[in-house]
Structure 1
């Protein structure tokens, strides 16, 4: 939200109180608090009729600085609030010294220094270097022309600093110059609105920032003041956290430790998902024809998804299979399981008036109400639609009981659609603030479903296909990119959304291969196939047309087979990257800047990504196959044809539909699996370790998890000799190979090759 007219003046009717004079800084055992007047404090009389701004610094975790800016403290906070960790880290608080008239708070490698006299000033250092800060012009207690209160902060940006994240945003990846409103909306991928709004931004300057407000947060990133990032919230209090790096990976590790790490997902979820699509006509015969068609063409399939019309029209959600199209749902699910498929079904948190659950939910008091006690309803999306009140534990258990019945009959996963159209003119069961609940509702919704899946399926076996989210939503994977058009432009905007989401702490991400709206031409579909099957999760889904490959052309079948089998062969690597998302909070699909923060050429790249730390993927956004790929420093090898390109520089290439730039980072030991028919196999047995550009003297470890347990491969290079030694649950068969050569089978726990 903008409050100023240019740099010097406020907008008409806007009043801003600033901390112009620090009166006192009080040191606590683990915090420090500054009291600053909003006018000059030269005499005692200056304290009369003068507002005071209170700024408190503390730390909930090592390397994380909490900053609270307050005007009036007497308000009531009804919630909700983000669930954040508090590790009670070691904090050092010191007062002014002879050489420095500032008070300091140090947590880990982050130090905050505040002025103890004069105007308010805050410098924030990471590893001894100032990375950002605030001044008296930055902090503001604002009253707008309508008399509404806000609190704002402005943190400094350096000359070459870039800002990323703020959720899944489809606008340019670098957020500098943008205005971003954190407010969940169903706006599609072709708008500035977003399904997954996260009030956290990542920088390449050594830090990130989380604004601790679950409702509407307005960001002006190098826009209202071009040298600062501004954020503001309604009310009398603003709390935010500065998360130290110095590298983006360090920031994401600390941020996800604060807000929650992504759960482990089952290996089967990495395989190819096929959907009925949305408004298409289908029944069990249609479904089985798709599955048979995939099998006849040698296309490995892992999950079949039933979209909305598995239920009767106007009945969403009643969780009852449409008897006209699925007269024997339990038998059908059994038959799908006999084909070795997992089953996902579409749900949302809305209850249409025609659903039998509407009256049940109304009588029990489980539906969100208006202030007069009536059930909140509208006709958008579903006629007479109501909303489950997940702030009521009994309503949550009731909703879960309906899903449990589906799990009992053979459903394996849920696509938790919607969760963005949440009203603010309602009363919540627990008294939550409707403005704050608008974004936070999705957290309760996805948590309720994910918790049930973990209870029934077990830890590591639960998986969603979720659309909406907020901060902390990464705990309940997987999330997909929403409604996109079937064009190259929309394919690129979808990728930008995924990169922004990855910069916001989300470990796994997917999108609709071929686009959702409309029907892609064969060229778009084939290019999107390569992109989709080199994403963390891969789903064929559309709106009004089917997405079976043979509906486009025979080459689409071949492209599907090539990239599906490629992905499945990479499961020893991908499952390891997924475990890293779970343990460290690092995303499977990573923006280039996350892996290469010291390369200026990587800072703004938003048309490619790293799949884990070792594979560079550059989707092709043209029919003719022309693509520009930024190659970081070193010699990179194509995984598809063995060609070598060097960086740092841009390369222009041309690729057929069965190819794209898929480059292996120099110094990589890439574990490649023995199977290409399914993702959930023994990744250790038959694994081949392929080595790419290992420097002389290399000594590293590669871990592969097999059925019998973890295998640790120590790989070394001495001159032209590369040697691998396996410990742990060593499989009977494994091999070692260079980038192009045939694999050399191991002799028990060791293998050796000579580089050419």
Structure 2
């Protein structure tokens, strides 16, 4: 939110008390307590100041024992170090200054002149001039962090606009706004700076950021509150920053291997019944297109009764038998839900009677008609309501449902309501998504075990990486929407999330055959892949049988890459590095990578550049590797190589796209696999591009338990000097030449 008019003037109706003086300072153990106040001319300036209040915050993990504090009273300097990060504070009277820096002395950011303040804003409906001294004002805490020359800011959740957030106003407030505006479903108050640090604002209310858009040398952060808490996260690389951030907010959970299969949905408003679904499944079988998950979108329930958690008996007269038949085809089952209960639902009266819904101040159930007629919202701060909701999910799991698409949770009211636990409604608006996803995720996980459950969630908040997977929401069926979806996914995955998907083909509208095929290529090089639309189906043959061929090839390619995907996901689970990642996350020393948002790394070693036009033309950048040697190799043509640090323009038919293998890397594949759940070791092939480090290791993950190494062998070791590879388990190791070791030879030339 903007409060100023240029450097010196405030907007009409705004008053800011700038903190510029250290009134008191106290050190206890690892904590420094500083009382800041406005400019002090005399003792009278200590009057009419603010005091903080306590309320809801996100859960954080804490550690101790890594800090050091030195205070030089004579020089009026305090230095606080935590690990590799230092904070220097100038405590001279009326000369407050904060500088966050690395231990080597490099400034990262800080608070300079007039950058911490309390804002009293009378631009509110509650302000009445005639109330005089008692006229209501909205209070804000304001913290402005310095930006250096050329510094760029990334992240802040799933944002669909320009990838670098400089010049933007970003409000951390979950909204159901589609994917083509400043509104977003997944707002995370965390950003990564190109200057080598991250910032996490621990506030579940509406955090507003003016990213070089109010002051061109600062990120201005404001919250409608009397306190603000933020963390500076420093690391020696963007990956290290994510590792530290997810240490603070929680590591991402893993998902079962079957979820990497292709998902097919009924689409949203289409008419479908058992006969329709069966025809689709037969079409996939007859065309040899592997399909692993079938999803029933909202009209599996009777209209006007969402959610009652009952199959519509007119469309599905025998749901138990039908799900059993689907499971007999080897499919997993997902169904759509949301946290709302319409008044026509048989569950409404039960929820109302037992106090399971969010209430108005007068104690009545809060209801509205904007989605389902007379709908109420489940109050997940009520333990009894959570148990009630969970019981209905368990009943569905009993008949064969494996996962739930947790839609909505953004339209959460903030005025005139109360929660069971008395929580602040404004602070609960974003936080609600966490509670919703958590109860569903924990219900599923209780049945299948840790790191084996998953959702398909639309909304989230900090810490939501513990309840995967998340998908991009309602995008249009255009190439531009495909590109904005990628920007949104890459932004989210700079905030601790390692899995993400989009609606292949776009949600709103009907894709052209060319768009369908290009989105299929992109969607099958996403962590999760789902064919989904609004008013039209997404089965490939209705767009042309050539679309079926493209889909079949892409699905089989992703299954072939299962060993690689499982290993990269396990790495993300351990350190927060996403499966799909912005180029600068992998190549931070190559400054050209920071501006690129139309391509990405899929894991550590595969570069993917989707095609965003009908003509098939694509311009892409090949990063410089830190090793600086070796050439990138085309996945489709191993004789074709690329030099790092250069741009290329190519035209691709629908059989290919730019997929490049990193020099000095190993890609694990298994052409024998029919599904991701099968034995990863039986038939494994290792693609080696160029010269490997002296002793390289790749880890094989157990598809049956994706947080564990394969049961027979933990790792494969390479000795590039002798062209050998071997497998080992624990201390035992065997070496020998492997017939399934494939070296991608490259010619040495000057081109």
Q: CA deviation at 1:677?
A: 2.1
Contact 1:28 1:93 in 2 (8 A): no
Match of 1:16 in 2: 16
Three-state SS of the structure 2 residue aligned to 1:363 is: helix
Match of 2:129 in 1: none
Change (3 A) 1:368 1:37: closer
Three-state SS of the structure 1 residue aligned to 2:334 is: strand
Matches within 5 A, 1:219-258: 219-258=209-248
Match of 1:738 in 2: 743
CA RMSD after TM alignment: 1.7
Question: Does residue 1:47 correspond to 2:43, yes or no?
Answer: yes
Contact 2:40 2:46 in 1 (8 A): no
Q: 2:185 aligns with which of 183, 192, 195?
A: 195
Match of 2:79 in 1: 104
State how far apart, in whole Å, the 2-side matches of 1:571 and 1:106 are.
43
Contact 1:126 1:206 in 2 (8 A): no
State how far apart, in whole Å, the 1-side matches of 2:725 and 2:73 are.
56
Contiguous gaps of at least 5 residues in structure 2: 124-136, 626-630, 703-709, 747-751
Contact 2:160 2:484 in 1 (8 A): yes
Match of 2:644 in 1: 647
State how far apart, in whole Å, the 2-side matches of 1:451 and 1:710 are.
31
Contact 2:664 2:688 in 1 (8 A): yes
User: Please, what TM-score do these two structures have when normalized by structure 1?
Assistant: 0.92
Q: CA deviation at 1:160?
A: 1.9
State how far apart, in whole Å, the 1-side matches of 2:320 and 2:345 are.
21
State how far apart, in whole Å, the 2-side matches of 1:89 and 1:208 are.
22
Matches within 5 A, 1:97-176: 101-118=76-93, 119-128=95-104, 129-146=106-123, 147-176=137-166
Matches within 5 A, 1:23-42: 23-41=23-41
Match of 1:59 in 2: none
Q: CA deviation at 1:127?
A: 3.7
Q: 2:716 aligns with which of 709, 713, 717?
A: 713
Contiguous gaps of at least 5 residues in structure 1: 54-70, 742-756
Change (3 A) 1:32 1:78: closer
Contact 1:684 1:734 in 2 (8 A): no
- Per-residue CA deviations over 1:644-696 (Å, capped at 9, x if unaligned) read 1112121111111111111111110111113342111111121111100225x
User: Please, what TM-score do these two structures have when normalized by structure 2?
Assistant: 0.93
Contact 1:23 1:117 in 2 (8 A): no
Three-state SS of the structure 1 residue aligned to 2:595 is: coil
Question: Does residue 1:342 correspond to 2:347, yes or no?
Answer: no
**Count of paired positions:** 713
State how far apart, in whole Å, the 2-side matches of 1:675 and 1:304 are.
24
Q: CA deviation at 1:188?
A: 0.2
State how far apart, in whole Å, the 2-side matches of 1:705 and 1:235 are.
47
Contact 1:280 1:546 in 2 (8 A): yes
Match of 1:612 in 2: 603
Matches within 5 A, 1:232-381: 232-381=222-371
Q: CA deviation at 1:708?
A: 2.7
Contact 2:21 2:91 in 1 (8 A): no
Three-state SS of the structure 2 residue aligned to 1:555 is: helix
State how far apart, in whole Å, the 1-side matches of 2:317 and 2:81 are.
65
Contact 1:38 1:52 in 2 (8 A): no
State how far apart, in whole Å, the 2-side matches of 1:618 and 1:52 are.
58
Deviates more, 1:84-93 or 1:177-186: 84-93
Question: Does residue 1:405 correspond to 2:395, yes or no?
Answer: yes
Contact 2:587 2:624 in 1 (8 A): no
Contact 1:35 1:52 in 2 (8 A): no
- Per-residue CA deviations over 1:468-516 (Å, capped at 9, x if unaligned) read 0011111100000000000000000000000110011111000000000
- Per-residue CA deviations over 1:6-57 (Å, capped at 9, x if unaligned) read 111111111111122333432222121223331234xxxx12243598xxxx
Q: CA deviation at 1:101?
A: 4.0
State how far apart, in whole Å, the 2-side matches of 1:451 and 1:212 are.
24
Three-state SS of the structure 2 residue aligned to 1:437 is: helix
Q: 1:689 aligns with which of 686, 690, 694?
A: 686
State how far apart, in whole Å, the 1-side matches of 2:361 and 2:396 are.
34
Change (3 A) 1:454 1:50: same
Change (3 A) 1:219 1:734: farther
Q: 1:383 aligns with which of 365, 373, 398?
A: 373
Contact 2:690 2:745 in 1 (8 A): no
State how far apart, in whole Å, the 2-side matches of 1:460 and 1:435 are.
32
Q: CA deviation at 1:281?
A: 1.0
More strand by proportion, 1 or 2?
Answer: 1
Change (3 A) 1:450 1:710: farther
Q: CA deviation at 1:734?
A: 6.6
State how far apart, in whole Å, the 1-side matches of 2:65 and 2:301 are.
51
Q: 2:505 aligns with which of 509, 514, 523?
A: 514
State how far apart, in whole Å, the 1-side matches of 2:583 and 2:340 are.
39
Matches within 5 A, 1:172-183: 172-183=162-173
Deviates more, 1:436-445 or 1:278-287: 278-287
Match of 1:72 in 2: 51
Matches within 5 A, 1:444-455: 444-455=435-446
Deviates more, 1:572-581 or 1:480-489: 572-581
Three-state SS of the structure 1 residue aligned to 2:79 is: strand
Q: 1:637 aligns with which of 623, 633, 637?
A: 633
Contact 2:713 2:727 in 1 (8 A): no
State how far apart, in whole Å, the 2-side matches of 1:178 and 1:709 are.
52
Deviates more, 1:441-450 or 1:636-645: 636-645
Contact 1:675 1:681 in 2 (8 A): no
Three-state SS of the structure 2 residue aligned to 1:559 is: helix
State how far apart, in whole Å, the 1-side matches of 2:12 and 2:47 are.
21
